[in-house]
Every structure is written in structure tokens, then in C-alpha cells.
A = this chain, B = another copy of it.
């Protein structure tokens, strides 16, 4: 269980004191505020704050004095138009701030999304908790033979058990030594900024992460994708659910035009046209590489 009683009490306290505001309010998001959504074995995603809603996207697109809403139907149409035609700036007018607890190796992928604001728990200043990501057995897979940077078939039970044993033992030993090195009990105690170097990449860290909706969609498109590593994809999936409640029109447009959409190359467009005219198009006469053709077959079914 990721949170202590004290932490849960702090969250309850925050949810117990509604206040008045004149700002745009998203009821869907108010429901989520501060609550911890569990991800992986010790991680979570918490919404700390948000700015704007679907109407705010339209208000900014129209540079209007009031709400900017003409009608709910118009709003959805405008949002879909903006998404379809890559008018990204109105989506930047919404912002969300999350508190995320995640393994360090996931954090290292995540941080590559540069257009965001981050405050991470400092291991120079503070002592990290004894919490490590240990995969569930059904996530222990072999190196993929098709995709050089993914995973393939599941490990056998025996091999899986052996891997889990290693991960648990090494994590425990490294953390014991971490504690021992920083301990000032009868000795000087190594500086925290040095001792942390002994901790493996499955230890959990946490941060506040703030991002605008356009850049969040970009993050989701890459990280909720089937090619993303499972351990970051579950965070993206969790956040996608929160966004769907926050800005339902924008999220639906994102699903239709980005997540569920596909990009065809010039060659692929040409092949589709030829196929629709009745021509038999094959890998050989498609003008695509073998790998592209395989991807193309996945698209056209």
C-alpha cells in the first residue's frame, strides 16, 4: 500500500475544505483531486491542481471576453477542428499538476518530455524510502525477437522465479547498505548525495509534474502507445483516464485523431488509392520496405 495513515489523512484534509472560486471548474476533475490512483506495486498518480476545461480551449481560440462558448455543440465542433488541423495553441491553455510516484528507470524515460515543470524528491537532501518495483510474474518477458527494444514471450515459471529472487535480494541488500552508509550511529555517516549511488533503478522516486494539455497529449500519444515500455504505459493509461474526465471533448478528439488515428506515408496513400481502384498491391509493387509493408498491412487490415 503506497500511502501511510498520515498521508491519507493529509489528503482527506485537502478534500474536506471546498472553497469558492470564480475560475473555470471541471467537475470531472474535482472528483479526482488529491486522491491517489495506484499504479504498479508502489506507485501512484495524484491530481494536485488543474487550470481550464473544454470551454477554456474555445475561449482562448476565440480570444473572447466572456466564456467564449456559443453552444456546447459548437464547442465540440471547434475542438475537433482544432485537433484535426494541428492548431495546438488553444490546448496549451489548459494545465494540470500531478504528484507521481514512480520507479527511477521510468522517471528517466518520462523526464525526456522537456516541455513540463518538475520538482523531484531530492536524494541529496532527504533519505529515500525502502520501496522497489518488483514486476508481477506476468510482466517478466524475454527480449523480443522482432523488436530490438521490446519484450517478447513470457519467461517460464522457473526462470521467472529466479529473476524475481535476484531483483528482491539485490534491492534489499543495496538498500541495507545505503542505510548503513548514511547511518550516523557511532560514525560520521556518508553524505546522502553519495550514498544514493548504491541504489538500483527500480527504487521509487516521486515528483510534482506540471504540463499543459497539448504537451500532455503528446506524452500520452507516445507513452500510451503499444510500443512504449509497459511500466511507463500504465502511468500514461492512468493519466488518460483522468484527462477523459477533465476535458471530455478534447479527449475524444484526441482519441479519434491521434491515438486511434494513423499516419500514412506518401507511398501508403498511393497504395490505398490503387487498392481502392481494384489493383492488387503487394509488398513487391508497393514501393515500401518489408517492415513498412508489414506495418501497412496492420493498418488496412
Binding site for B on A (CB under 8 A): 3, 7, 10-11, 13-15, 17-25, 30, 33-34, 48-52, 56, 59-61, 63-67, 77, 80-81, 84-86, 89-90, 92-93, 95, 97, 99, 103-105, 108, 111-112, 114-115, 117-122, 124-125, 133, 135, 139-144, 148-153, 155-156, 159, 163, 166-167, 170-171, 173-174, 177, 180-182, 184, 187-194, 196-202, 206-208, 210, 212, 222, 227, 229, 255-257, 259-269, 272-273, 275-276, 289, 291-292, 295, 299-301
B77 pairs with A289, CB closer than 8 A: yes
Return the chain B residue nearest A125 by Cβ: B149
Q: Quick one: which of B125, B184, B194 contacts A141, CB cutoff 8 A?
A: B194
Mind listing 15 A-B residue pairs with CB under 8 Å? Answer: A14-B22, A18-B20, A18-B21, A20-B30, A49-B56, A60-B208, A125-B149, A142-B190, A150-B193, A166-B198, A198-B200, A199-B200, A200-B201, A256-B265, A256-B267
Cα–Cα, bound, A148→B93 (Å): 23
